[in-house]
A and B are shown apart, each in its own frame.
Chain A
Amino acid sequence: MSLELKHVTYTYSAGSAFQATALDDISLTIEDGEFVALVGHTGCGKSTLVQHLNGLLKPTSGQVLLDGQDINGEGINRRELRQKVGLVFQYPEYQLFEETVAKDIAFGPKNQGLSADEVDRRVRRAMEHVHLNYDKLVERSPFELSGGQMRRVAIAGVLAMEPKVLVLDEPTAGLDPRGRDRILGMVRELHREGTTVVMVSHSMEDVASLATRMVVLSHGRLATQGAPREVFKQRELMAEAGLDIPEAAKLCQALIARGVPLPEDLYLQDELREHLAQLWKEARA
Chain B
Amino acid sequence: MMTNITLGQYYPVDSPVHRLDPRVKIVLTLALIVCVFLAHSLIGYALIFAFIFFTARLAKIPFKTVLKGIKPLRFILILTFVLNLFFSTAGNDLIRIGSVRITDQGLRQSVHYSLRLLFLVMGTSLMTLTTSPIMLSDGMELLLSPLKKLHFPAHELAMMMSIALRFIPTLMEEADKIMKAQMARGADFETGNLLARAKAMVPLLVPLFVSAFRRAGDLAMAMESRCYHGGEGRTRLRTLKLTKQDTVACLLVAGLLLLIILEGMLLPKGWLL
Contact = CB atoms under 8 A, between A and B. Distances in A.
A18 B181 contact: no
A89 B177 contact: yes
A79 interface: yes
Interface in A1-34: 12-13, 18
Contacts of A94: 174, 177-178, 207, 210-211
A134 interface: no
Given A95-B181, A97-B206, A143-B210, A108 B1 contact: no
Contacts of A89: 177, 180-181, 184
Given A12-B1, A107-B203, A92 B181 contact: yes
Given A12-B1, A94-B178, A87 B203 contact: no
Chain B interface residue bracket vs A: 20 to 34
Contacts of A12: 1
Chain A interface residue bracket vs B: 20 to 34
B184 A86 contact: yes
Contacts of B178: 94-95
Contacts of A111: 185-188
Interface in A75-132: 79, 82-83, 86-87, 89, 92, 94-98, 107-108, 111-112
Contacts of B206: 97-98
Interface string B152-192: 00000000000000000000001001101111111110000
Nearest to B209: A97
A176 to B, nearest CB: 19
B207 A96 contact: yes
B203 A97 contact: yes
B4 A82 contact: no
A51 B180 contact: yes
Contacts of B203: 95, 97, 107
Given A18-B4, A95-B207, A97-B207, A107 B184 contact: no
Contacts of A98: 206
Contacts of A83: 186
A82 B184 CA distance: 6
B202 interface: yes
B185 A158 contact: yes
A167 to B, nearest CB: 9
A97 B208 CA distance: 9
Contacts of B187: 107, 111
B192 to A, nearest CB: 12
Contacts of B184: 54, 56, 82, 86-87, 89, 158
A157 interface: yes
A250 B152 CA distance: 65
A83 B184 CA distance: 8
Given A97-B202, A97-B206, A143-B210, A13 B4 contact: yes
A161 interface: yes
Nearest to B183: A56
Interface in A172-213: none
Contacts of A161: 185-186
Contacts of B180: 51, 56, 89
Contacts of A95: 178, 181-182, 203, 207
A146 to B, nearest CB: 15
23 contacts: A51-B180, A56-B180, A56-B183, A56-B184, A82-B183, A82-B184, A87-B181, A87-B184, A89-B180, A92-B181, A94-B174, A94-B207, A94-B210, A94-B211, A95-B178, A95-B182, A95-B203, A95-B207, A96-B210, A97-B210, A98-B206, A111-B185, A143-B210
Interface of A: 12-13, 18, 51, 54, 56, 79, 82-83, 86-87, 89, 92, 94-98, 107-108, 111-112, 143, 157-158, 161
Given A86-B184, A94-B178, A107-B203, 5 more contacts: A89-B181, A94-B177, A95-B178, A95-B207, A97-B202
